[in-house]
Amino acid sequence: MYGTPAHGTPMYGTPAHGTPVYGTPAHGTPVQGTPAHGIPVHRAAAVRGGHPQHDEGGARPVPYGGRRGRTLAVDPERADEQGPFVPGPRHEDEPEAEVPAGRGGLGRTLAGVAAAAVATVLAVVVAGQVTGQEEPAAAPRAAGEAAERAVDESSASRSDDRITPTRPVPRKPVVLTYEQLMTHQFPIDPELKGSGAFEAVQGFQKAPGKGRLIRYRVDVEKGIGLDPKLFADAVQKTLNDPRSWAGDGAMTFERISSGEPEFVITLASPGTTGVWCRKSGLDTTIDNVSCDSASTERVMINAFRWARGSSTFGPKAMHAYRQMLINHEVGHRLGHNHVTCRTPGALAPVMQQQTKSLNIDGVHCRPNPWVNPGS
């Protein structure tokens, strides 16, 4: 609206108590924008109890916000009647001035949502002052918090300030080969006694060589936590290796899962192995070893030894130890007895009890998994 101020100078805006004030900043510099906490602060008018203070030195010219270079004089006698700062309309042809950084100021112009949030709080505060009410203590703090939230939200929406999330590339599961698995040790309790129930490993593996055909089956005790297929593959590969019992062409081994086998190679817990070995008068509990239970159809492979090996071979030679274990016990089923090493430093015979010791009667030999290691 148009009004007539105290000294006849026209102005824009809605004056409080008839005295218009448009943007009265510190030191008489016109400022358009949003003050720091919703209340204009300057030397000429500091708010106390909802009313502005004024200097004792007489009237101070106040810049007129509607036109450049014109001022509006403030009558010191009527200073108490002047209402709080009420912003008038902004002319589109006037450039926006940045809010100067200072004590209590924002230090920079808020944009977008920030300006709208502060303007809303400012309107509430000004309305309270015009009605003569005390400003709520939380109002300045609310204005500042609203501005900070708006600035944070505004900056967060800028894609150049944020790290673009990338979709993680799914990793393919690592699949170990047979050779890799045969080098690993597996966890098992050395005193484990399983259920005693066996299950045949399904499948058929044809005999690869010539000579007498020997059919066998592989059983694994249920619930011992070891891989049945890995064990069955190890038996077939080991027995038909050129360095093993089939190496000279006199025999060849074929794995079946049904029908009538000549014997059953059985992987069982230490407790169950002991039960079956006792049926043939053998005690495997002293050193937790394996046996050929000759009075039964089963060649017993102790699962603890299969999983953990022995100190004579060590953890780095698990593959070789497992090959020795199979060849040694199947050798008993084929009719071979124990043999000891007679030459210090030589490879131990496969029929030596290498799980227990490589030093027999003071003769120390090297570990060996094969019947014919030189083949």
Q: Are the C-beta atoms of 249 and 219 separated by less than 8 Å?
A: no
How far is 107 from 72, CA to CA, in rounded Å?
27
Rounded CA separation 41/38 (Å) = 9
Strand partners, 205: 255
**What's residue 120's pLDDT?**
53
3-state secondary structure of 366: strand
In angstroms, rounded to a whole number, what is the distance separating the alpha carbons of residues 253 and 200?
17
Q: What is the pLDDT of residue 15?
A: 42
Closest CA to 331 of 361, 309, 304, 353: 353
Q: What is the pLDDT of residue 115?
A: 52
pLDDT at 160: 55
Do the Cβ atoms of 292 and 329 come closer than 8 Å?
Answer: yes
Walk along the chain (375 residues) in steps of 10 and give the mean pLDDT of each run: 43 42 42 43 40 44 42 44 47 46 44 50 46 46 52 48 72 91 97 97 96 98 98 98 94 97 98 98 96 98 98 98 98 97 96 96 96 89
**Distance, CA of 15 to CA of 21 (rounded, Å):** 7
Query: What is the rounded CA–CA span in Å between residue 368 and residue 375?
Result: 13
Query: Could you tell me the domains of the chain?
Result: 2-89+106-150 (no CATH), 178-364 (3.40.390)
